[in-house]
Amino acid sequence: MKKKIVSMVLALMMMMGAFVGCGSNSSAGTASTASATNGKTVYPKGKVVIYAYGQPQYLQQYYDAWLERNKDIASGVTIEIVQTKGADDSRQKVTTTYLSGSYDDLPDAMYIDPVNLMDLAKGDIVKDETALVTPLVDKMVSGAANDAKFQGKIYGLPDSVRPQMLFYNKQIFDKYGVDPSQMSTVEGYIEAGKQLKEKSNGKVYLSYIDPGSKTWRYWGRRGLMPQANAKIWDDEGNVVIGSDSGTKLALGALDTMYSQGLLLKSTIMEPALYDATRKGEVATFDIGAFWDEFLRKNVPETSGQWRVMSAPVFKDVGTAGAPVSSYFAIVNKKDGVYAGLCEKLWKDFNFDSTSRQEWVNKMVEQNAPYSNPISLDMLKNKFWKESSTFYGGESFRAKESEFLQNGSKNLVVTPQDAEADEIISAELEKYVAGSQSMKEAIANMDKNLKAKIGKAKIEK
């Protein structure tokens, strides 16, 4: 009898052990309900979880200070940032958690890009923020909420809108006597590259080209393509990249630069490129404003040498790079109690000038990332026009705002973009590897997009 009981207990324990962890109940975000006191919503003790990518550890400093300032409504609340690899990764984690029905494990909010935001909005996973954002749209930089709109509603709280810029090393241009002002056009930019190459005996490259997917992301989708008014799809969603004159102009310019040896083949954000930059072998970066934090962090020796100008325009088009927007989305969490807290956090971060400036000052001390606010009122403050020693006394912040003025329109966002990017990038990577010409690459992009996707859904 004893043997039987022991056997049964053991078998039961094994089964229980196997299921330990399944259906675990985290208290994050579902502590109890928020209550209203003196017109203020008071949040219960618990943990707010936010998915973020890039270098979110620096945001934690703002959040901690915010909690300290808001003890009256959030006493006992903590904020935890969960770092993800990127917007795709955040979306993947949220989607799979949502599907599993483990709503308690969902984050309360997440940073996200327009493509993934659209899918999450379709699935009703993120909260409709139309009521909160609409009255604020006029107070934000132009187009801040544009990519968060889906079927007439706004699903993301605008977090940043950053322009494409041309970072150039003035010391290199001075050394070789090349005039940087000619880089206001793409044609002049290429000419400057040729002059640098010739005068430095091939030592100095105009810029870089990434052998992986970053070439399409930074040179293509966010850079030359919108600048050349290029199209992947027509208004009905048909593939037109193969016949589009804008694509030929954009990728043709990249081809000219690469085939003439003006671009150093090196992976971006990796030590080899920083080494070359440090040695003065890479003169410019035509890229998003985010590159500022990478330069400051990775090549501090070059402080004072850099200047920025608006991304070069194609003579026949006339608009500079397209701005890149990112959003803060509140997750539709069943029984979640911190949606209001996250909204207040977002509003304070973007519209409370004092706390934002304090945080930015801390970031500057730590050589850490930050971006301009989206609030137009805040941007009027002198603080956002202060000079920067890294840019030889020029105001990077003022330039960041200024360069938003003549931005190109972004490529249209469709649910098929992630797949399209993979197909297009694969062909561009083969071009960079030297296994096909740019003409062949564009033809293959067109052929493969038609074969694999056919037609994109253009969301109105």
Partner 1 sequence: MKIIKAVKRYRYPYLFILPFFLLFLIFQLIPLIWTVGISFTEWNGIGSPKSVGLGNYQLLMKDYMFWDAVKNTVYYWVTGVVFILLLALLVSSLLNNKGLKASRFFKTASFLPNVCAAIAMGIIFGMLFDENAGLINQILVTFGGTRVPWLTSVTMSKIPVVILNVWRNTPWFTMIVLSGLLNISPEYYEAATVDGATAVQKFFKITLPSLSNILFFCFITLTVDSWKIFNEPYILSGPGTSNVSLFQYMYQSGFSIFKMGYAAAIGCILTLILLIISIVQFAIRVRQGEM
> Smallest distance from the beta carbon of 91 to partner 1, in angstroms?
8
Taking the CA of residue 29 as centre, how many other CA atoms within 13 Å lie in the half-sphere pointing to its CB? 24
Minimum CB distance to partner 1 smaller for 273 or for 341: 273
In this structure, the number of other CB atoms found within 10 A of the CB of residue 177 comes to 8
Asked if 209 and 256 count as a contact pair (C-beta separation under 8 A), the reply is no
Question: Alpha-carbon distance 221 to 405, whole Å?
Answer: 19
Residues in 195-254 that interact with partner 1 by CB under 8 A: 211-212
> Smallest distance from the beta carbon of 279 to partner 1, in angstroms?
12
Taking CB under 8 A as the rule, does residue 280 contact partner 1? no
The binding track of 106-135 with respect to partner 1, each residue x by CB under 8 A or -, is: -------------xx-xx-x----------
Minimum CB distance to partner 1 smaller for 332 or for 375: 332
Please pick, from the candidates 76, 271, 300, 318, the single residue that binds partner 1 as defined by CB under 8 A.
271
Q: Which residues contact 85 (CB under 8 A, 6 or more apart)?
A: 53
> Smallest distance from the beta carbon of 118 to partner 1, in angstroms?
11
Please pick, from the candidates 170, 344, 430, 455, the single residue that binds partner 1 as defined by CB under 8 A.
430
3-24 per-residue burial string, b: 16 or more CB within 10 A, e: under 16: eeeeeeeeeeeeeeeeeeeeee
Minimum CB distance to partner 1 smaller for 108 or for 429: 429
Minimum CB distance to partner 1 smaller for 130 or for 448: 448
Question: By rule CB under 8 A, what count of residues binds partner 1?
Answer: 48
**DSSP character for 206?**
S
Interface stretch with partner 1, choices 251-259, 299-307, 324-332, 428-436 (CB under 8 A) = 428-436
Minimum CB distance to partner 1 smaller for 128 or for 191: 128
3-class DSSP string for 403-435: CCCCECCCCCCCCCHHHHHHHHHHHHHHHHCCC
Question: Alpha-carbon distance 22 to 32, whole Å?
Answer: 22
Name all contacts of 342-348 with Cβ < 8 Å and 24+ positions apart. Answer: 342/48, 342/50, 342/108, 342/109, 343/129, 343/132, 343/157, 344/70, 344/73, 345/63, 345/66, 345/79, 346/109, 346/157, 346/159, 347/132, 348/66
The binding track of 76-105 with respect to partner 1, each residue x by CB under 8 A or -, is: ------------x--xx--xx-xx------
Q: Give the residue carrying structure tokens 């911190």.
A: 338
> Smallest distance from the beta carbon of 226 to partner 1, in angstroms?
22
Taking CB under 8 A as the rule, does residue 265 contact partner 1? yes
Question: Alpha-carbon distance 192 to 449, whole Å?
Answer: 35
Please pick, from the candidates 272, 366, 377, 437, the single residue that binds partner 1 as defined by CB under 8 A.
272
In angstroms, the Cα distances linking 277 to 194, 226, 271 are 18, 27, 10
Taking CB under 8 A as the rule, does residue 435 contact partner 1? yes
Taking CB under 8 A as the rule, does residue 456 contact partner 1? no
- Does residue 352 sit in helix, strand or coil? coil
Taking CB under 8 A as the rule, does residue 7 contact partner 1? yes
Tokens of 359: 């945080």
Please pick, from the candidates 429, 445, 449, 456, the single residue that binds partner 1 as defined by CB under 8 A.
429
Taking CB under 8 A as the rule, does residue 4 contact partner 1? yes
Looking at the DSSP bridge assignments, the partners of residue 36 are 41
| Contact residues: partner 1, CB under 8 A | 4, 7-8, 10-11, 14-15, 17-18, 88, 91-92, 95-96, 98-99, 119-120, 122-123, 125, 211-212, 265-267, 270-272, 275-276, 415, 418-419, 422-423, 425-427, 429-430, 432-435, 448, 451-452
